[in-house]
């Protein structure tokens, strides 16, 4: 393996524009200072052991102008407050927002709007340095949204770099459901890097569902940095339906007492696709529950990484933390690296983790086919059944039916390719 030299990250950045967002200048300066000293991590770095960046590092990203797309085909749910991004542009903004919901886009965002957040790795640092667009969402205290917020991020064109930076703040006792979709169009070696900082105030309630449906020629990096105050309830559903290369880094800082955290993930990969889910739940305060459930179906030569860290700090007593990762391999060439990590420094806690990898029940598929159901439909039924407990975590029925629709599409395509 060719070593990634120190210069590689700087060469990679050469044609990338500096951030267009009005981030606090001290923040940008500190970020830049650290970034010029950094390079792409290699497999000696624990967090990147099974996810190689050599191919990403070699891409000559360059933004080229594209024509306005018809985004209606990307819509996941009809009844929502919808915003659509195509590369660096925001091409649709919901015309009317209810009282208590504020969404600022791009240059509407002022430096003062950004709350501080820690950005450690090269992915998050690149995002600060080159962010081209994004949004800052504020939901006021006590507000319960009548419909979901829907954000669509569409990467358009070959070798297209996309850096989106977003922030979401849920007020005291407020409640929201947000759907985020990531797509790519005409991608060849394209690169998306999206960052979310999420702040849940006391007693707030948030369900965030990410649909990653990026297609076969896009490298997708996603970072969520979440902070939870007392009595808050946070759910993140990460559903990776398609994508050549997807890396998700989720960090939840459970700062307040009596919080609930749910991280759910489903990934359905094929060909030589690669998915890497890195999650960290940091229990800082006592009396909290966290639940983590990631399930994957891997076909062909696809590979998956699951790394779930749970920290329980010395003062964080009475913590219940459960973690599970289950995988089904549809081919002998698919592989999964699953690694749960629990670091517990308190003594009165209940933590468990489990990881399984198996095969799809061929006898079940034969049974369904023997009743007249096509092989593709039978596989889809059994895969959907395996994934069901993750899909059930998606609150919105409309989004749920979108997911099943995508799954059906995916498995019919799959059978045509195979036949």
Partner 1 sequence: MITIKDLHASIEGKPILKGLNLTVKAGEVHAIMGPNGAGKSTLASVLAGREEYEITQGDINFNGVDLLSLSVEERAREGLFLAFQYPVEIPGVSNINFLRTALNEIREHKGEKGISAKDFMSLVREKSALVELDSKLSSRSVNEGFSGGEKKRNEIFQMAMLNPKLSILDETDSGLDIDALRIVANGVNQLKTDQNATIIITHYQRLLDYIIPDFVHVLYDGKIVKSGGKELALELEEKGYDWIKNNTPN
Which residues contact partner 1 by CB under 8 A?
Answer: 361, 363-364, 366-375, 377-378, 381-382, 384-386, 388-389
- Helix (H/G/I), strand (E/B), else coil: 363: helix
Q: Which is nearer to partner 1, 312 or 387 (CB)?
A: 387
Sheet holding 135-139, edge to edge: 101-105, 135-139, 161-170, 190-200, 218-228, 245-254, 274-283, 303-312, 335-344
Q: Which is nearer to partner 1, 345 or 367 (CB)?
A: 367
Rounded to the nearest whole angstrom, what is the least distance from the CB of residue 374 to partner 1 in the complex? 5
| Structure tokens belonging to residue 55 | 């191919």
What are the phi and psi torsion angles at 252 (to 5°)?
Answer: -110, 120
User: Residues 262, 234: contact at Cβ < 8 Å?
Assistant: yes
Q: Which is nearer to partner 1, 250 or 387 (CB)?
A: 387
Q: Which is nearer to partner 1, 30 or 368 (CB)?
A: 368
Q: Which is nearer to partner 1, 49 or 369 (CB)?
A: 369
Rounded to the nearest whole angstrom, what is the least distance from the CB of residue 10 to partner 1 in the complex? 49
306-334 residues labelled b (16+ CB within 10 A) or e (exposed): bbbbbbbbeebeebebebbbbbbbbeeeb
> Which residue, 267, 262, 263, 229, is CA-closest to 246?
267
- Helix (H/G/I), strand (E/B), else coil: 402: helix
Element (H, E) at 31: helix 25-35
Rounded to the nearest whole angstrom, what is the least distance from the CB of residue 359 to partner 1 in the complex? 14
Rounded to the nearest whole angstrom, what is the least distance from the CB of residue 322 to partner 1 in the complex? 20
Distance of CA 223 to the CA centre of its chain: 7
Rounded to the nearest whole angstrom, what is the least distance from the CB of residue 373 to partner 1 in the complex? 5
Q: Which is nearer to partner 1, 125 or 295 (CB)?
A: 295
CA distance from start to end of the chain:
36
What are the phi and psi torsion angles at 113 (to 5°)?
Answer: -70, -25
Alpha helix segments (H runs only) across 49-170: 54-57, 122-130
Rounded to the nearest whole angstrom, what is the least distance from the CB of residue 404 to partner 1 in the complex? 11
Rounded to the nearest whole angstrom, what is the least distance from the CB of residue 231 to partner 1 in the complex? 33
Q: Which is nearer to partner 1, 59 or 364 (CB)?
A: 364
């Amino acid at each position: 393996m060719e070593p990634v030299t120190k210069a590689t990250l700087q060469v990679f950045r050469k044609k990338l524009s500096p951030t267009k967002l009005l981030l606090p200048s001290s923040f940008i300066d500190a970020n830049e200072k650290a970034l010029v000293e950094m390079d792409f991590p290699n497999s000696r770095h624990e967090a990147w052991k099974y996810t190689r960046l050599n191919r990403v590092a070699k891409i000559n990203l360059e933004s080229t102008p594209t024509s306005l797309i018809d985004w209606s085909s990307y819509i996941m749910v009809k009844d929502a407050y919808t915003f659509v991004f195509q590369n660096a542009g925001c091409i649709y903004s919901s015309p009317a927002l209810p009282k208590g919901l504020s969404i600022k886009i791009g240059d509407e965002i002022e430096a003062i709007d950004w709350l501080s957040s820690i950005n450690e790795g090269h992915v998050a640092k690149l995002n600060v340095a080159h962010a081209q667009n994004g949004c800052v969402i504020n939901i006021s205290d006590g507000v319960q949204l009548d419909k979901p917020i829907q954000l669509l991020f569409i990467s358009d064109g070959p070798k297209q770099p996309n850096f989106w930076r977003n922030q979401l703040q849920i007020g005291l006792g407020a409640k929201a459901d947000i759907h985020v979709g990531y797509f790519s169009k005409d991608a060849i070696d394209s690169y998306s890097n999206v960052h979310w900082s999420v702040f849940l105030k006391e007693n707030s309630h948030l369900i965030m569902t990410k649909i990653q449906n990026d297609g076969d020629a896009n490298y997708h990096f996603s970072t969520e940095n979440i902070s939870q105050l007392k009595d808050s309830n946070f759910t993140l559903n990460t559903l990776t339906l398609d994508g050549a290369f997807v890396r998700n880094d989720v960090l939840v800082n459970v700062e307040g007492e009596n919080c609930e955290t749910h991280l759910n993930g489903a990934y359905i990969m094929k060909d030589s696709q690669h998915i890497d889910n890195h999650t960290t739940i940091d229990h800082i305060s006592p009396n909290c529950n966290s639940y983590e459930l990631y399930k994957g179906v891997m076909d062909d030569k696809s590979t998956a990484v699951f790394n779930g860290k749970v920290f329980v700090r010395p003062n964080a007593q009475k913590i219940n933390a459960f973690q599970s990762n289950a995988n089904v391999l549809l081919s002998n060439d698919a592989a999964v690296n699953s690694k749960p990590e629990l670091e517990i420094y308190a003594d009165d806690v209940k933590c468990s983790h489990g990881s399984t990898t198996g095969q799809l029940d061929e006898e079940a598929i034969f049974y369904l086919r023997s009743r007249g159901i096509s092989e593709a439909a039978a596989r889809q039924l059994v895969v959907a059944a395996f994934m069901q407990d993750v899909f059930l975590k998606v609150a919105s029925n409309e989004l749920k039916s979108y997911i099943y629709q995508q799954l059906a599409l995916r498995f019919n395509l799959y059978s045509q390719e195979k036949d």
